[in-house]
Amino acid sequence: MVIKDLELHNFRNYSSLNLEFSQSINVIYGKNGYGKTNLLEAMFLCCVGKSFKAQKDAELIKYGEDSYKVKTRIGDSICNSISVFYEKNKSKYIEIDGVYIDKLRMLFGNLIGIMFSPESMRMVTDGPMYRRRLLDIALCQIKKDYYYSLMMYNRFCEEKGKLLEQGRIGDNLELEVINENIAKFGAVIAVDRNDFVRQLNEIAGKYYSFITDEEEMVTMRYYPNIHSMNAAIGEKTAEGEPAEFTVEKVKNDFLEELSDERLMKRERDFKKNLIGIQRDDIGMDLCGNSLRSFGSQGQKRSYAISITMAELEILRQKSGRTPVLFLDDVLSELDNARKSKIVELTKNIQTFYTCTDMEMMRLPAGGGASVNFIDVEKLR
Ligand SMILES: Nc1ncnc2c1ncn2[C@@H]1O[C@H](COP(=O)(O)OP(=O)(O)O)[C@@H](O)[C@H]1O
Ligand SMILES: [Mg+2]
C-alpha cells in the first residue's frame, strides 16, 4: 500500500495543504512544534479512523475553526481514496472512494498503517494498557471480526458493570446471558491475541538480533487474564509445541471462571468486573529477566522498534500487501550503526520518517535508498 498524497483543511496547525509523497522513503524534517507529527497523525487517521494520540476529534480541528478534513489518495490497495471529515458536535464522516461508510470497521484494511512514535516506547516501559493497545490496533486492521468482538465485549462488560454497581444482581438469568456473551466475544479476542503474540515473539526476536548484533534474546509471552488459558500457555504439548486454543474451548473455560461462586461474590462486593481480557498483558524478558526492569534504554528502544517491524511483517503476510510505516522521531536516539540498519529494513516499504535535522537522515540514506525530503517549514 502507498499513500500518494495528502490533502488537509483546518487540521491541527494546517489551514490548507496539498502534499505528494514518494512511494519509498519520505523524510519530514523541521524544528520542534512545526507540525511534523501532525502530518503523520492525519495519515494514520485515514488508516484506523482515529488519532493515535488525541482522545477527541475536536482537538484535531485548527484552533478557531469548526471542522477539519483529511483526504488521501492511495495506491496498491482495494480502494483509491479515503477521506475523513469532522465538524464540531457532529459525528465523524468517513468516505472510501467517495462513498460514505457508516461503520468504522469498514475502514479497516483499506490502508494498513503502523505507527512508531515516542509514545510507543510505553509498550515496553509502562503499564499493560499500552500493550493491549498495540494488539488491538494491529488486529483490528487485519481481522474483520476482531473489532466487532471487542466492541460487543465492551458493551456487555459495561452492562454487567452497571448491574453490579446498582447491586441489581438478584436476577441471575440476566447475569447469565451477559456472562455468556462476555465469554463468547472475549474468547475470540484472547485466541487472536495469543496467535499474534506468538508470531510477534518469533519475528521481533530476529529483528532485535539484526538491529543490535547482541547475543542476548528478548522474548515475549501473552498473559491472558483467563486463568486456565494462561496456565496452558506456560506448558508445552508432548511434542514440545506451544499449546493450541480453539475459541470454543477458551469460551467454555472463561464462562466457567465467570460463573465461579466465589468470583461472583467478590464481584458483587467490589461492584465491578474482576476478570477478563481487559486485564490481559504481555510479558517481555531479556535473558529471563523483565526487560522493563532490567533492560537498558537502548535495549528497550531496540526491542520496541523490533516489535514494530515484526508487526509490519505479520500484517503484510495477513493482508497480502505491504503496510505503510510511520516512524516519528525514531532516529534521534540511535547511533549511526543502528540508524543505518533501520533504514535498511525500511528500504522496500513506504516509510514516513520525521526528524529535526535532515542531516540525521543523510548518512544512513547514503546507502542507496532514494529519499524524498520534505521541509515542514515550507508547508506552514
Ligand atoms: N488544533 C490545533 N490547531 C492549531 N494548531 C495546533 C493544534 N493542535 C496542535 N497545534 C500546533 O501544532 C504544533 C505541534 O505540531 P507537531 O506536529 O506535534 O510538531 P512536531 O514538528 O514537533 O512534530 C504546535 O505548535 C501546536 O501548537
Ligand atoms: Mg513530533
Please spell the DSSP secondary structure of 4-64, one letter per residue.
EEEEEEEETTEEEEEEE--SSEEEEE--TTSSHHHHHHHHHHHHHSS-SS-S-GGGGBPTT
Does residue 163 share a domain with residue 227?
A: yes
CA distance 181 to 184: 5
Whether 119 is in a domain gets the answer no
**Segment 266-270 mean pLDDT:** 93
User: For a substitution probing ligand 1, which of 12, 37, 119 has the most ligand atoms within 8 Å of its CB?
Assistant: 12
Confidence of residue 236 (pLDDT cuts 50, 70, 90): confident
**Segment 73-93 mean pLDDT:** 97
The residue range of the domain holding 24 is 1-112+321-380
Whether 150 is in a domain gets the answer yes
Does residue 287 share a domain with residue 166?
A: yes
Does residue 156 share a domain with residue 255?
A: yes
Mean of all residue pLDDT scores within the chain: 94
Per-residue pLDDT tens over the stretch 294-311: 999 999 999 999 999 999
Per-residue pLDDT tens over the stretch 20-32: 999 999 999 999 9
Confidence of residue 36 (pLDDT cuts 50, 70, 90): very high
Per-residue pLDDT tens over the stretch 125-163: 999 999 999 999 999 999 989 999 999 999 999 999 999
Whether 328 is in a domain gets the answer yes
Note the ligand closest to the C-alpha atom of 11: 1
Could you give the percent of the chain with pLDDT greater than 70? 97
pTM above 0.85, yes or no: yes
Q: What SS3 state is found at 166? A: coil
Q: What is the dihedral of CA 361, 367, 368, 370, to 10 degrees?
A: -10
Q: Give yes or no for residue 365 having a pLDDT over 60.
A: no
Ligand 1 atom at shortest distance from the alpha carbon of 64: 3
* CATH code where residue 82 lies: 3.40.50.300
Does residue 25 share a domain with residue 96?
A: yes
User: For a substitution probing ligand 1, which of 15, 19, 36, 38 has the most ligand atoms within 8 Å of its CB?
Assistant: 38
Which residues are registered as beta bridge partners of 174? none
Q: Are 36 and 358 in contact (CB under 8 A)?
A: no
Task: Give the distance (Å) from ligand 1 centre to CA of residue 11.
Answer: 10
Could you give the percent of the chain with pLDDT greater than 90? 85
Ligand 1 atom at shortest distance from the alpha carbon of 38: 17
Q: Give yes or no for residue 106 having a pLDDT over 80.
A: yes
Confidence of residue 173 (pLDDT cuts 50, 70, 90): confident
**Segment 46-67 mean pLDDT:** 97
For ligand 1, residues with CB inside 6 Å are 12-13, 30, 32-38, 59, 61-63
Residue 157 CB neighbour total at 10 angstroms: 20
Whether 178 is in a domain gets the answer yes
Does residue 154 share a domain with residue 10?
A: no
pLDDT, position 368: 55
CA distance 202 to 317: 14
Provide the H-helix boundaries in the chain: 36-48, 122-125, 128-142, 144-165, 172-212, 227-233, 247-258, 261-270, 291-294, 297-319, 336-345, 359-365
Does residue 173 share a domain with residue 301?
A: yes
CA distance 257 to 228: 9
Per-residue pLDDT tens over the stretch 185-194: 999 999 999 9
Whether 122 is in a domain gets the answer no
**Segment 104-117 mean pLDDT:** 96
Per-residue pLDDT tens over the stretch 192-217: 999 999 999 999 999 999 999 988 88
| Residues near ion ligand 2 (Cβ under 5 Å) | 36-37
Nearest CA to ligand 1 atom 2: 12
